[in-house]
A and B are shown apart, each in its own frame.
Chain A
Amino acid sequence: MELLSGGEMLIRALHDEGVELLFGYPGGAALHIYDAIFNQDKVDHILVRHEQAATHAADGYARATGKPGVVLVTSGPGATNAITGIATAFMDSIPMVVISGQVDSSLIGTDGFQETDMVGVSRPIVKHSFMVQRAEEIPEIVKKAFYIATTGRPGPVVIDIPKDVTDPARKVKYQYPDSVKMRSYSVPSKGHTGQIKKAVEILLAAKRPVIYAGGGVIQGNGSELLTELARMLGYPVTNTLMGLGAYPGTDEQFLGMLGMHGTYEANMAMHFSDVVLGIGVRFDDRVTNAVNKFCPGAKILHVDIDPASISKTVTADVPIVGSVSTVLEEMIDLIKQSDSQVDSKSLELWWQQIEGWREKECLKVEASTDDSIKPQQVVQAVYKATGGNAYVSSDVGQHQMFAAQYYVFDKPRRWINSGGLGTMGFGFPAAVGVQLAYPDAVSVCITGEGSIQMCIQELATCMQYALPIKIVCLNNQALGMVKQWQDMQYGGRHSHSTYSESLPDFVKLMEAYGHVGIRIDKLSELDEKMAEAFAIKDKLVFIDVSVDATEHVYPMAIKGGSMKDMYLSKTERT
């Protein structure tokens, strides 16, 4: 057996685990590990410019590829800077392993230089964490960390390693385990067959069914099966913000996104349904609106891998704990074997009703008459320029909702956004992770001038690694979503949500980094300039688009109401 130091073991174990890419930032407590990275060429390391960006980049990488994202940071400030990104990944169940350096074991608990109790600080936002005590434990802990991060309901795992454990002078025997056994951790796989049968019966007898699918379908690689099931039944499908792309967005059966800024037809269909099949969803408050008014006439069938997500907010009539894909497979088989048929008469009537709702055209954009640009039109232009084939990350705000509503996703893992935590600053570093995972793909970040400034330092990372990301900034010179709430709920008092006098010249800023900046402010030039920007294949391009700052995101759920209660425009409500 080979003799390796703790630092060498860690990097070797990552390689043996199949890790190709690390996102990180060095510092004292992690220097033995960084030296081990220097002395090998199997695992690549991407030097970001802020540890928050390391976690978001690893997160974007994970969302786009389905593989775990890996982060390496130093102790103290390095570790605490990573916290926002860990919380973001936790809320959206993203597989991630975060390795943090720690002060020497002998210094722990002494308020040593750059000492932070990382295991303690991260505890509520990780799936699990490890504190390594001896170098000998490293292979097994790494194996366990990846196993936990990637199985069941995925999530971030922290490995905190004191510096002395990675000491290059102390070498121990290295062997990477083939498998892990943990008596206290088991992964639910197949759902309960009796429950699935019951669900299928109810589903087949439905008169006004809706399939409500979320991020779990993407995480659980169940998109194709979901599509097969929905097409077999001919039932309408809606996706959550996290689930966009789980079902093809251009399909006739797709009603669009549901929830707070969901489409009129999706929210109406949910409200008036008699059976809701929730798959890989968690009945989030941004979807349900007031829980006690949620889908009053519907039987709820709920499939999720996490038992704690079931009947947490909305009680399920048929709970099914299991991996989305095995449950979907079983459902499809049962439907094929079943003697019962879909109630096609009722279904036809149901579709007629849905078509009526669709006629409202809730996402229709009225072009301005003065050549100014509506933010929605920018997203439409990006869709055109990329043929709908891009990986689109976004930040948080109005631009995020416009991106979700107007960029139509036909494939899973293309829409990369912080749905659960709503982290401004996520989009750009996430696009870095996507671009590194898929160097030849188009990686776009749709952002706002507020959000982009939260991780803008990553322009330097893109310079270093020549990443040709496209940043589309819906520049409304304001924290638009905050301003919208202030317009609607605070009598238009824009408390600290505007800063039009103090915005940087983004085009000049791009020049400073050797990137390309393009400004667009006329509707008549939008498509052409957008196409020009996307034609630049080898450079980062920042497309700064001046948009109508008065625009609000609609539809918008009316607080305290049911799903059918929505504002449809500044003057119209349901």
Chain B
Amino acid sequence: MRHIISILLENEPGALSRVVGLFSQRNYNIESLTVAPTEDHSLSRLTITTIGDDRKIEQITKHLNKLIDVVKLVDLTEGSHVERELMLIKVKASGAQRAEIKRTTDIFRGQIIDVTPTVYSIQLSGTSDKLDSFIAALGNAAVLEVARTGVTGISRGDKVLSL
């Protein structure tokens, strides 16, 4: 199963490499990874999506917790949560396709953020599935470039990941 693990990490040099190293060293896979400082600049928030059965995920969270730089973590997929990914995508848009692409973008509630006579740059956020569907919905329009941030997330309700 796919899991989203969110981590509060000391914002120290080398901390990120320890997390990434753990995954390669123990043969765990990383589907996506996002990281940025939080409102408290001594901490980074890191979100990893990974795939594994319960036993593997338990090992992953235990080993992450053992890393000295990991302050706290939560497996968001254990409870109800909101997850989002941001995508910037550049598509060839000329002639009749321009209107078609615009319509599809609207349906997905994306925004066209840059325009040239032959190219649209589109911004879209949502779950990873939604981003995948958007690409599929573009049909035979030529996709020139895709930049996705990877998943970040937060749990619903009162639950917070903080010190």
Which A residues are within 8 Å of any B CB, using their own CB? 119-120, 123-124, 127-129, 131, 148, 182-185, 306-308, 311-312
Contacts and interface: CB of A to CB of B under 8 A. Distances in A.
A123 B16 CA distance: 12
B62 A308 contact: yes
Given A131-B13, A307-B65, A184 B21 contact: no
Given A123-B17, A124-B25, A128-B68, A184 B10 contact: yes
13 contacts: A123-B14, A123-B17, A124-B21, A124-B25, A128-B68, A131-B13, A184-B10, A184-B71, A306-B66, A307-B62, A308-B59, A308-B66, A312-B59
A183 B163 contact: yes
B58 interface: yes
B99 to A, nearest CB: 51
Given A123-B18, A131-B14, A311 B66 contact: no
Nearest to A119: B14
A124 B10 CA distance: 18
B130 interface: no
A127 B68 CA distance: 8
Interface in B14-28: 14, 17-18, 21, 25
A308 B64 CA distance: 10
B41 interface: no
Given A124-B25, A307-B65, A311-B58, A184 B17 contact: no
Nearest to B15: A184
Give the secondary structure class of B's interface. helix
Given A120-B17, A123-B21, A129-B14, A308 B68 contact: no
A183 B14 contact: no
B55 interface: yes
Q: 3 closest pairs, A vs B, by CB? A: A308-B62, A184-B71, A128-B68
A312 B61 CA distance: 12
Contacts of A124: 21, 25
Give the secondary structure class of A's interface. mixed
B70 interface: yes
Given A131-B14, A311-B58, A184 B68 contact: yes
Nearest to A125: B25
A182 B71 CA distance: 9
Given A183-B163, A308-B63, A312-B59, 19 more contacts: A120-B17, A123-B14, A123-B17, A123-B18, A123-B21, A124-B21, A124-B25, A127-B68, A129-B14, A131-B13, A131-B14, A182-B68, A184-B10, A184-B69, A184-B71, A306-B66, A307-B65, A308-B62, A308-B66
Interface residues of B, number: 19
A128 B12 CA distance: 13
Most buried by A among B10, B65, B66, B163: B66
A131 B17 CA distance: 14
Nearest to B72: A184
Contacts of A119: 14
Contacts of A120: 17
A311 B53 CA distance: 14
Interface string B99-125: 000000000000000000000000000
Contacts of B18: 123
Interface string B138-153: 0000000000000000
Nearest to A309: B62
B24 to A, nearest CB: 9
B65 A183 contact: no
B156 to A, nearest CB: 26
Contact of B68 (A131, A185, A306): A185
A150 to B, nearest CB: 14
B17 A183 contact: no
Given A120-B17, A123-B17, A308-B63, A184 B70 contact: yes
Nearest to B18: A123
A183 B66 contact: no
A123 B68 CA distance: 12
A565 B37 CA distance: 55
Nearest to A120: B17
Given A123-B17, A131-B14, A148 B68 contact: yes
A120 B21 CA distance: 10
A141 B75 CA distance: 31
A307 B68 CA distance: 14
A184 B18 CA distance: 14
Nearest to A185: B68
Contacts of A182: 68
B96 to A, nearest CB: 53
A308 to B, nearest CB: 4
A307 B17 CA distance: 22
Contacts of A184: 10, 68-71
Contacts of B63: 308
A183 B71 contact: yes
Contacts of A185: 68
A119 B12 CA distance: 13
Nearest to B63: A308
A159 B41 CA distance: 24
A312 B69 CA distance: 22
A213 B21 CA distance: 31
A344 B121 CA distance: 79
Nearest to A124: B25
Most buried by A among B14, B21, B25: B14
A127 B62 CA distance: 14
A71 B59 CA distance: 32
B38 to A, nearest CB: 14
B7 to A, nearest CB: 11
A398 B65 CA distance: 38
B72 to A, nearest CB: 8
Contacts of A308: 59, 62-63, 66
Contacts of B69: 184
Nearest to A310: B62
Nearest to B66: A308
Nearest to B55: A311
Contacts of B21: 123-124
Contacts of A311: 55, 58
Most buried by B among A119, A129, A307: A307
A185 B10 CA distance: 11
B63 to A, nearest CB: 5
A119 B69 CA distance: 14
A44 B39 CA distance: 47
A193 to B, nearest CB: 21
A120 B68 CA distance: 16
A312 B25 CA distance: 15
